[in-house]
A and B are shown apart, each in its own frame.
Chain A
């Protein structure tokens, strides 16, 4: 299935900004996070089609996943 992945801020470095990627049916958000080697301790917001999701969310063909890193400084 095709999933559009959008990365934000530091997650773009050495990866990409937006890409349509192919995954097997039943792939979860967490599996994509692992595949992209995004550190789990640095995860901010995860959005699928503008809705907040958790790592166990199963993706459906054609969806867009947006991943933001955690920002907490002041």
Chain B
């Protein structure tokens, strides 16, 4: 047994390692918090922060989440909630791509927006938030608008990509990029009281079907804007799909789209 394994075995209480002991191990053994988290899980112990995951996510699955990489494109309404949930879930590597800064009109709904953050680069604020809530997560923050040229290098290596952008052409481009890279894409879109979600595997081309009548411009979000709650709902559906993709569990929203109507409280599933 290595010195670190012995340390962890000594500190474990009912199989749990406290955050304080995880930090102590990182300091004593000159490892990153992420590396210690990996060693904890490899020794079939669990960082205590994940104890309420335990009945639905086993320790080997928690290790799989730690070893996973997810790219989130867009750090606005959907992206803010998605990043928060991925970090708390324990996804080990998160790439955040967005070119924008926070503005006052973001404050009604974007989780990462606050008066103190106005004018600040969204991906930097997102990285700080993740570091605050789960320092074992490795973040790569990229301030850029995703295009085909750099998209390949930014998304390569991701186990899953999340579509949290705010316009149709970027979504269609993202679907092509993910197909080229053979990576699954979890799509979400919102407008007012309404939103939809679908999960796309290479070859499905669901967004090409979903937006086949698109003729330029924005959707109903242009007139309606977005309230506080719609992004949270759709983002959470998306993260549930990401979790299932990474763990190979459950029934995915492939070739079907969930349409969510929060005004009439209806969820309509349509085939794609």
Contact = CB atoms under 8 A, between A and B. Distances in A.
Given A8-B268, A45-B270, A72 B216 contact: no
B77 A72 contact: no
Contact of A74 (B74, B213, B271): B74
A74 B217 contact: no
Contacts of B195: 71
Interface stretch (B1-9, B20-28, B131-139, B218-226): B218-226
Contacts of A40: 213, 215
A74 B226 CA distance: 9
A58 B41 CA distance: 59
Does more than half of chain B's interface fall in helix, strand or loop, or is it mixed? mixed
A71 to B, nearest CB: 4
A71 B217 contact: no
Interface stretch (B43-51, B88-96, B183-191): B183-191
B210 A44 contact: yes
Does more than half of chain A's interface fall in helix, strand or loop, or is it mixed? mixed
B261 A9 contact: yes
B79 interface: yes
B78 interface: yes
Contact of A9 (B194, B210, B211): B194
Interface of B: 74, 76-79, 163-168, 171, 188-196, 209-221, 223-224, 226, 231, 257, 259, 261, 263, 268, 270-272
17 contacts: A9-B191, A9-B263, A41-B215, A42-B219, A45-B210, A45-B213, A50-B270, A69-B191, A70-B168, A71-B191, A72-B168, A72-B211, A72-B221, A73-B190, A73-B191, A73-B218, A74-B189
